[in-house]
Amino acid sequence: MASTSKFQFSVLISLLLVLFFWSVEGKLPQSCKKYECPTYNVVEAGNGYEIRKYDSPVWISTPPIQNKSFVGATRNGFIRLFNYAHGKNKENKQIKLTAPVTSEVSFNGGKPSIVVSFFVALENQKNPALADGLSVKRWKSKFVAVKQFGGFLTDSNVGRIVASLNASLGGTKPSFASSKSFIIAQYDPPFKLFDRVNEVWLFNYAHGKNKENKQIKLTAPVTSEVSFNGGKPSIVVSFFVALENQKNPALADGLSVKRWKSKFVAVKQFGGFLTDSNVGRIVASLNASLGGTKPSFASSKSFIIAQYDPPFKLFDRVNEVWFLSE
């Protein structure tokens, strides 16, 4: 099993981090001293990113704009929202300007669609002015991975900016996946040339990145099922669904529901942190404990590592290796 020691198990270490970190007051962008912005707490400040917990902001949003140009779609959406704020709404009302303006980019069949949104000031959130072709979106509390950057957005630099946040996350937070969607938040008007503030935001499944925009109850363990095909490993990371949600789990693009039938599992418990160098030894240890007496629990084709603790817990950690009966 020595070959099993070469996997990147470090991707799992921080999966539950955002739920357990204590909150500290976040520092808002400079633009929020002039314009009202949605409030949040910073729950983790990493190297080149923040994990924020947003309260429950309200947005006025355009319908999806089908446009290969991020800049073009954002400009078109912003014009509609600018007109909305300056009286083109059903109340003919001047709306207080806020920040940021966000552009949520999602992909369907490889084609981008962009929803541009305008943050609704607190004084208007209970009954926002409505307008034809625009909709009200109310967030529940959400956790968001954020990277701040300056300058102007262009069609050529958006992809690099999103990739930069992924790189800052370091592969340690797979629940913040950007392959299907991301948001660019712009805090400054287009005529401001210097000291501009923008952000890229990524969401995760448990905190609302699902088709119901629903907060999902966190559970334990998080499991990593390792299997081999032609000697090449593949790893499926899974999140246990709480009993209250098992009948109709919230769905999400790029994630699937797996329902186990009754299973027999050989289990060995161990402590400490997983590393790329110790996984093989841990699997071999369970094989040795079984002593060759239970051939139906074979680990040569697959095994599961179950982790029960958040990554910042340094002591008394609980993990398990599982072999499923064939």
What would the DSSP string read from start to end of 21-53?
SPPEEPPPPGGGGTSB---EEEEEEETTEEEEE
Q: Which domain holds residue 61?
A: 17-203
Asked if 317 and 228 sit in the same domain, the reply is yes
Give the tens place of pLDDT for each residue, 40-87. Answer: 888 888 888 888 888 889 999 999 999 889 999 999 999 999 999 999
Instruction: Give me the mean pLDDT over the 218-225 stretch.
Output: 84
- Report the alpha-carbon distance of residue 253 to residue 205 in Å, rounded: 10
Give the tens place of pLDDT for each residue, 78-119. Answer: 999 999 999 999 999 999 999 999 999 987 766 789 999 999
Is residue 14 within 8 A of residue 284, CB to CB? The reply is no
Asked if 113 and 128 sit in the same domain, the reply is yes
- Report the alpha-carbon distance of residue 299 to residue 143 in Å, rounded: 37
Asked if 35 and 133 sit in the same domain, the reply is yes
- Report the alpha-carbon distance of residue 21 to residue 6 in Å, rounded: 30
Predicted model pTM: 0.60
Q: To the nearest whole percent, how much of the chain has pLDDT over 90?
A: 33
Asked if 62 and 173 sit in the same domain, the reply is yes
Which residues, including other chains, have CB under 8 Å from residue 238's CB and lie 6 or more apart?
A: 222, 223, 224, 225, 258
Structure tokens at 17: 């981090």
Among candidate residues 142, 176, 203, the one where a domain is terminated = 203
Asked if 184 and 225 sit in the same domain, the reply is no
Instruction: Give me the mean pLDDT over the 166-189 stretch.
Output: 75
Is the residue at 305 inside a domain? Answer: yes
Half-sphere exposure of 206 (CA within 13 A, CB side): 21
Give the tens place of pLDDT for each residue, 269-318. Answer: 999 888 878 888 888 888 888 876 666 676 657 899 998 876 556 678 89
Assign residue 25 a region (left: φ > 0; alpha: ψ between -120 and 50; beta: otherwise): beta
Asked if 62 and 119 sit in the same domain, the reply is yes
Q: What is the pLDDT of residue 279?
A: 86
Asked if 176 and 288 sit in the same domain, the reply is no
**CA separation (Å) from 324 to 278, 305, 306?**
21, 12, 13
Asked if 193 and 240 sit in the same domain, the reply is no
Is the residue at 166 inside a domain? Answer: yes
Q: What is the pLDDT of residue 7?
A: 41
Q: Count of domains in the chain?
A: 2
Q: What is the pLDDT of residue 18?
A: 33
- Report the alpha-carbon distance of residue 161 to residue 148 in Å, rounded: 9
- Report the alpha-carbon distance of residue 142 to residue 54 in Å, rounded: 5
Asked if 180 and 73 sit in the same domain, the reply is yes
